[in-house]
Amino acid sequence: MTTRKKCAVWAIFWLPSFGASASELSYTFLDFQRPESTVDAFGVQTPVPGQTVQINALDGEGIAVGGSLALVHGLYFAGSYRSSIVDVTGSITSPLVTVNVTDTFDLVASTLAFGYAHEFGDNFDLIAEISYDSSNYDFGSFAGENFDIDESGAGARLGFRWNPVPPVELYLFGKYSPVAKALLSEGTFEKGTSEILGVRWYFFENLGVGIEYDSGDVDTTTISMRFSFGNLPW
């Protein structure tokens, strides 16, 4: 386990020891986020006969925004948008020479979701979501190759949100995505699943900070700030 992963897991179980003003589970909120990701992706192409290009995606960071709007009877609508700059290393091999190269690429991901929260008491909700997930990898080109991928499709999440004590929220989700893993040589995405574990601490009733760890093929730790607006009375 990397140092960043250890810090994320440690913080998830350490933050609840702090006290703060009481808060309730809300489904009308706005999140501002700072994700750091490790992308597990490797590709090989031969753009012209006798010349091979290999690339390997590494670590990156970016910014993201997400939000949710409560509807009626436990239903809600949610969405998120993330843009990251990710390091990439590569090599260009020809019959005469091999050249090592480095650069960055743009990773853009977005989700639109429709969800349902089923309450078990005042502080525990079971969550089910269906979503439309989109992911775009924009590499540019070193020597005429094209590793860019842009796909989307239907996804889902299932999990829970829990307030073990009033100022603290813990959550755990299992996630299915049609764009979980980038297959760069093939120019497509592979379906896959991941687990999402997070904690949020509300230092004011409607303002909190959180840390989240997503264990997918794009391994991501996210720091966030949430502005909550309660459940609006429609």
**pLDDT in the model for residue 205:** 82
Per-residue model confidence (pLDDT) at position 206: 87
Phi, psi of 203 (to 5 degrees): -85, -15
Burial 29-44 (b: 16+ CB within 10 A, else e): bebebebbbbbebebe
What DSSP line would sit under 191-227, residue for residue? EEEEEEEEEEEEEETTEEEEEEEE-SSEEEEEEEEEE
Q: What is the pLDDT of residue 13?
A: 41
- Profile the chain (234 residues) by mean pLDDT over runs of 10 residues: 47 40 72 96 93 96 97 94 97 93 96 95 91 96 93 97 91 97 95 97 91 95 94 59
- pLDDT at residue 180 in the model: 95
pLDDT on residue 234: 52
- Is residue 154 a contact partner of residue 148, using CB atoms and an 8 Å limit? no
Does domain 3-225 fall under CATH 2.40.160.20? My reply is yes
Q: Give me the pLDDT at residue 108, please.
A: 98
Residue 6 in contact with residue 222, Cβ under 8 Å?
no
76 conformational bin, left if phi > 0, alpha if psi -120 to 50, beta if neither: beta
Whole-model pTM: value is 0.85
Closest to 138 (Cα-Cα) out of 128, 151, 127: 151
Q: Where are the domains of the chain?
A: 3-225
